Structure 1
Amino acid sequence: MRKNRSTTRRVTAAAVAVTAALLLAACGNDGDSSHEGGHGSSSSSPSPSASAAADAHNAQDVSFAQGMIPHHRQALEMAKLATGRASSDQVKDLAARIEKAQDPEIKTMSGWLTSWGEEVPAGSMPGMDHSGGHSGMPGMMSDKDMAGLEKASGKDFDSMFLTMMIEHHEGAVDMAGTEKKSGRYDPATAMADDIITAQTAEITEMNKLLGKN
């Protein structure tokens, strides 16, 4: 009787041990399987997703670059006129700073458009008339405005330049605000933020030079 009980206990213990081993093996396999799956997805997904995030842009980013390039070009044309026509050293200094800031931004935005496979606005665009293709762009001067600035000199030029450039800057700030709100490409929204900060400060400076502040 004792012998039978002892045998039964050994058989039961063995069965429990086998069952436990099988359960452990199953858990181990499941763990390996889920770990491999998780590792596989985590190692392969960050790279494309990070790349996509870095390169992501939308229609607003394209519109911002394609609009701001000719907008900046006109500001440069106005600024270059100040060299030989302005009477105020402060106006000449402001014009030089505008050139220094906006020329590199044109190059940067042109690079973005090229990398996106989008059209870069063509060459120089003197005096974009409001009846032309950029009529919806805020702050752009007409051909008549630009012709008048070219004919002015001395204090008349200073006053005309500052008045026109304030309007021009206000248009750029408006365009940059739209980009900050709706753009997706981080470098473009960062540039928009820089434009708002720099040109808002210059608007204040120009108003002071005109005696408005």
Structure 2
Amino acid sequence: MSTKRSLIRRATAVAAAATAALALAACGGNGDDSGSAHNGHNAASPAASTPAQQGDHNAADTAFAQGMIPHHRQAIEMADLAATRAESAEVKKLAAEIKKAQDPEIKTLTGWLTSWGEQIPAEGAGHEGHDMAGMMAAQEMNQLEPASGKAFDTAFLTMMVKHHEGAVAMAKTEQADGTYQPAKDMAQAIITSQSAEIARMNTLLGKS
């Protein structure tokens, strides 16, 4: 009787050891061949998954965000002028739409730079960057500010077409060279929306 019990205990122990070994092998296999952090060790999962979700960016993504913030700020500055200086209802409507679209994008771009530990362009750091694609120089902004009526409408539309063309070029560079998917998605949205606005503005200018 005692011999039979001893054999049963031994068989149970062997089965338990085999089960444990299989469990360890399975755990190790998932971590190695899938490359997925979530099947590996729990302690490593957050650290392994966070860069892929939030920090997977490169220099092109940083340049896109740092360039587009002052670019958008200047567009909003121009749009604010249109609210009181423009004569055309269409120009005023377009300016309001530009501000509504670009204000949230500035907040998103700023959030990305903060999460990446990158520098955020200072407020007012726009005009000195006029060599950036489509940016207006301080002199051009000084010419726009005192204008009103039809003269403002023409100047605003002409400058904003150039401004939008610069943004589209920057967005295309991001799509080609960036790695951060949300930034590439924003770049595509900018290309689509601002290309449509360029066509609209050229129509208002009588160019198409």
TM-score when scaled to structure 2?
0.80
Alignment of 1:111-150 (within 5 A): 111-125=111-125, 128=127, 132=128, 134-150=129-145
Residue 122 of structure 1 aligns to a residue whose secondary structure is: coil
Alignment of 1:1-213 (within 5 A): 32=22, 34-41=25-32, 43-44=39-40, 47=45, 48-55=47-54, 56-125=56-125, 128=127, 132=128, 134-213=129-208
**CA deviation profile, 1:139-181 (whole Å, cap 9, x unmatched):** 0001110000001110000000000000000000000000011
Q: Given the superposition, is the C-alpha separation of residues 36 and 117 from structure 1 closer, same or farther in structure 2, using an over 3 Å criterion?
A: closer
Residue 151 of structure 1 aligns to a residue whose secondary structure is: coil
State the structure with more CA Rg: 1
The answer to whether the 8 A contact 2:130-2:136 is kept is no
Aligned-partner Cα distance in 2 for 1:58–1:136: 23
**CA deviation profile, 1:40-59 (whole Å, cap 9, x unmatched):** 54621794554332120111
Identity of aligned pairs, percent?
A: 57
Aligned-partner Cα distance in 1 for 2:87–2:27: 74
**Could you list the runs of 5+ residues in structure 1 that have no partner in the other structure?**
1-24
Residue 118 of structure 1 aligns to a residue whose secondary structure is: coil
**CA deviation profile, 1:159-206 (whole Å, cap 9, x unmatched):** 000000000000000000000111111111111110000000000000
**Could you list the runs of 5+ residues in structure 2 that have no partner in the other structure?**
1-14
Aligned-partner Cα distance in 2 for 1:108–1:148: 31
Question: One-letter code of the match for 2:166?
Answer: G
Aligned-partner Cα distance in 2 for 1:57–1:104: 21
The answer to whether the 8 A contact 1:86-1:155 is kept is yes
Residue 60 of structure 1 aligns to a residue whose secondary structure is: helix
The answer to whether the 8 A contact 1:173-1:200 is kept is yes
Aligned residues: 181
